[in-house]
Amino acid sequence: MTESRLVATSLLWIYRPVGLWFWSLMIFGVAIGVGVIVTVTEPRFSLWLLVAGSAAKYWLSVVGVLLVSTHLRQFVATGVTRRAFLAGSAVFGLAAAWLFTLIVTTGHGIEQSLLTLTRHGPLPADYPLLSAGSAASEFFHVLPGELAFLVSGAAIAAGFYRFGPLPGLLLILPGLVPALVAELLLGRGQHGEPLTRFLPFGLALTLSLLATALAAAMYQRKLRDVAIPRPAGQ
Amino acid sequence: MISLRNLTVRYGDTVAIDDLSLDLPADKIYGLLGRNGSGKTSLLSVLASYRKASAGSITVDGADPFENAEIMRQTTFIRDCLDVVQTGTVAKVLDFTARMRHGWDADYAARLLDMFELDPRKRVASLSRGQRSSLGVVLGLAARSPLTILDEVYLGMDAAARTAFYRELLADYLDRPRTIILSTHLIEEVANLFERVVIIDRGRLVLHEEADELKARGVAVTGPAEAVDAFVAGRTVLSDRRLGGVREATLYGRLDAQEARRAEASGLALGPVGIQDLFVHLTSGANAGSRPLEALR
Amino acid sequence: MFDDRSPIYLQIANAIKDDVLRGALEEDEQVMSTNQYAAFYQINPATAAKGFAALVDEGVLYKKRGIGMFVSPDARAKLRTGRRERFFAEVVDPMLAEARMIGVPVDEIVKHIGAQK
């Protein structure tokens, strides 16, 4: 197994238990939330998409930060090169974003099915419908956001790690670009529905992925030969 | 073989390592001694590829270790801040290291955990300082890396744990010789384990000597002040103490049997100077950085 | 175990020499290996090896390839001769100097030695 593949699988191994916890809590919480909503009113929105959809992105951005602030040091301490770590963490990031997008989209489908089965009559018009046809486009609407937030977290943390607190603050802005672009162009409406703004979907998708890729490249460059100092406060 | 040539490490305006050249042949136990701020940790960081040199070169078996997968894989650097997952248990840390390190000996690690009385189910964040250090020792020894660097790993360990550590270190080294670099402030405790001693002060190399040789380098000459004055004239005097008419001078340099007899005949008492005392004298006050000592390398 | 007065490898060599003289180590008997010595006294094996090398140079020990270090057949005799030669200069003269310094007359010393026979 190459070093970078070892890094990727080890990161997955590290995050599997905490990821399971996160999604279990998410499912549990949203299930109760939906249960409460339907007893009170009509489900005009997808609670799952609104809550889980956002939470997933922020969670991944935290993972992005942790990759730099914690994991880089741990992995180098086991004799792995920074290059191998960067490559492995990139694969891990892609896998995590892909997986989370899958869960978000599938969850939407499950929520919709459960609502349909337990109610009499059709769903309200405002509820964002998921069909076999729209599943793919919803998937590719969510994926760029997941990727963007992960990379933004990592890029911002990398700025601080390499250049220190003051330059790090300045570098927050370029680091935020992927997340901002994704939110702007491929955001979510009030009812949780995927919303493409300002540009046609294809272009928006391309632009978002490009911004994310550029920030990822920036992140890699910052860390390629970075020193591994003692962590602050130890 | 580790070779440093004109190595310089800078942090902004501060120079931590200044034009340092050194050759460290493999498979020896080295004691790296230096005061706080002497540049020890910077030197070790560069050796372990945790940091790139600002100038000069460093090679391990002929190749630059920085970002060199082959060399980094064979190096273990344990420092006091323990670069491990803080959120999990001790067992998880060992499992992670087992996944990542090819030479990892899980059985040995388990035996060491036992010896240091570390509960694998305990959370890393809740370990005491001494227990964290013990964990560091377990990680450092069970990896069995050809280049093992232990930077003040004994912090917080009680005397019994430290004794166990030294004993284990020596036993494993006897079993599988490798290059071990120990950085320590508790010099007298562990001086007998060193084959060679490297002393760093203010970023410069003070000496690199066989431990046995170094031990014989210091002599404390005590007696009536005039007699001591006469005897030490022309020799390197590291330090001086006076009480009434008695003077005690610490000399740097061997005395042969004849000179020793001459001293005793003059009514002077000769005493040994341990490595720790020698180190203190060589790295403090006016003597620090005095060039004549370099010639004795 | 070891003091600071002289290099450890010399102390090891002297300890082995004493053992040979006292009969604790017989001629042609195998000595502990450097590793065993190192582990027992908690010292670096190179130091132990240096002590052994000194003894080999002096002819007190010899090496059997692949097996270990052994006491030379004539080690005891050799050591005795050497120590005898230095006995008066290194042991007796300092004793007399001390006696002079504290005012013990030589006659008393002779009487004391006579009683010990």
User: In whole angstroms, what is the distance from residue B161 CA to residue B112 CA?
Assistant: 11
**Domain total in chain A:** 1
Asked if pLDDT for residue B286 goes beyond 70, the answer is no
H helices within A41-186, ranges in order? 47-66, 72-76, 82-118, 132-163, 165-170, 172-185
Domain that holds residue B137: 2-213
Q: What's the gap between Cα B55 and its chain centre?
A: 23
What is the CATH classification number for the domain harbouring B87? 3.40.50.300
Q: Identify the band that residue B257 occupies on the pLDDT scale cut at 50, 70 and 90.
A: confident
Per-domain residue ranges for chain C? 8-73, 76-116
pLDDT at B74 over 80: yes
Residues of B in Cβ contact (< 8 Å) with A6: 99-100
| Statement: the pTM of the whole predicted model exceeds 0.80 | yes
Using CB atoms, pick whichever of C5, C39, C43 lies closest to residue B192.
C43
Which tokens hold the place of B279?
Answer: 């180190």
Distance from the Cα of C115 to chain B's closest Cα (Å) equals 31
Chain A positions with Cβ closer than 8 Å to B: 3, 6, 10, 13-14, 70, 73-84, 225, 227-231, 234
Q: What is the CATH number of domain C8-73?
A: 1.10.10.10
ipTM of predicted assembly, 2 dp = 0.88
Going by the DSSP 8-state scheme, the letter that residue B123 receives in this structure is: B
Interface probe, candidates B173, B197, B213, B215, chain C, greatest C C-beta count within 10 A: B215
| The two three-digit tokens of residue B52, written as one number | 């790139």
A8 in a structural domain: yes
Last residue of a domain, one of B187, B213, B239: B213
**Which pLDDT value is given to residue B122?**
94
- Our CA-based measurement puts residue B23 at a distance from the nearest CA of chain A, in whole angstroms, of 23
Distance from CA of B101 to the nearest CA of A (A): 6
Tell me the pLDDT tens digit for each residue of A171-212: 999 999 999 999 998 888 888 788 888 888 888 899 999 999
Q: Please enumerate in sequence order all residues whose Cβ is within 8 A of that of A29, keeping only pairs 6 or more positions apart, or say none.
A: A51
**A230 in a domain, yes or no?**
no
Model confidence at B270, in pLDDT bands (50, 70, 90)? confident
pLDDT of residue B291: 42
Q: What is the pLDDT of residue C95?
A: 87
pLDDT of residue B252: 87
Q: Residue B48 burial by CB count (10 A; 0-12/13-18/19+): exposed, middle or buried? A: buried
Q: Where are the alpha helices (DSSP H) in B176-254?
A: 187-190, 211-215, 225-232
Which pair of structure tokens corresponds to residue A95? 């896998």
Is C44 in the B-facing interface, judged by CB distances under 8 Å? yes
Flag whether residue B12 sits within 8 Å of chain A, measured between CB atoms.
no
Q: Report chain B's mean pLDDT, rounded to a whole number.
A: 90
A161-170 confidence digits (pLDDT tens): 999 899 999 9
Report the residue from B50, B76, B100 with minimal CB separation from A80.
Answer: B100
pLDDT at A177: 94
How distant is the Cα of B191 from the closest Cα of chain C, in angstroms? 9
Q: pLDDT by residue (tens digit) across A37-92?
A: 888 888 888 899 999 989 999 999 999 999 999 999 999 999 999 999 999 999 99
What pLDDT is attached to residue C4?
Answer: 64
Tell whether C4 is within 8 A of chain B (Cβ).
yes
pLDDT band at C101 (very low <50, low <70, confident <90, very high): confident
Last residue of a domain, one of B213, B245, B277: B213
Contact call for B81 and A231, based on CB within 8 A? yes
**Does residue C29 come out as left (phi exceeding 0), alpha (psi in the -120 to 50 range) or beta?**
beta
Residues of chain B numbered 176-235 and touching chain C (CB < 8 Å)? 192-195, 210-213, 215-216
Q: Choosing among C4, C8, C86, C101, which should be mutated to test the B contact, i.e. which has the most B CBs within 10 A?
A: C4
Spatial CB neighbours of B159, under 8 Å, sequence gap ≥ 6: none
Residue among A14, A73, A79 minimizing CB distance to B101: A79
Together in a domain, B93 and B207: yes
Q: What is the pLDDT of residue A195?
A: 84
Model confidence over A125-149: pLDDT tens digits?
A: 788 888 888 888 889 999 999 999 9
With an 8 Å Cβ cutoff, is B75 touching chain A? yes
B36 near A CB under 8 A:
no
Residue A120 has pLDDT above 90, yes or no: no
One domain, residues B146 and B199: yes
- From B185, B213, B241, the end of a domain falls on B213
| B145/B71 Cα distance (integer angstroms) | 10
Same domain, B261 and B280: yes
Q: How far apart are CA B113 and CA B284, in angstroms?
A: 39
pLDDT tens string C4-39: 667 788 888 888 999 888 888 888 888 889 999 999
Please tell me the distance from the alpha carbon of residue B105 to that of residue B243, in angstroms, as a whole number. Answer: 57
Out of B66, B73, B77, the one facing A77 most closely (by C-beta) is B77
Classify strands B147-151 and B29-34 as parallel, antiparallel or unpaired. unpaired
**pLDDT at position A234, please?**
54
Run of H or E including C12? helix C8-22
Domain count, chain B: 2
Q: B251, B237 in Cβ contact below 8 A?
A: yes
Residue A153, pLDDT above cutoff 70: yes
Q: Please tell me the predicted confidence (pLDDT) of residue B41.
A: 92
Alpha-carbon distance of A194 to A112, in angstroms, equals 15
User: Domain limits at A165?
Assistant: 3-37+46-223
On chain A, the residues whose CB falls within 8 A of the CB of B72 are 76, 79-81
Give the distance, in angstroms, between the CA of residue B238 and the centroid of all CA atoms in the same chain. 21
**Which residue in B143, B144, B153, B234 sits closest to B186, CA to CA?**
B153
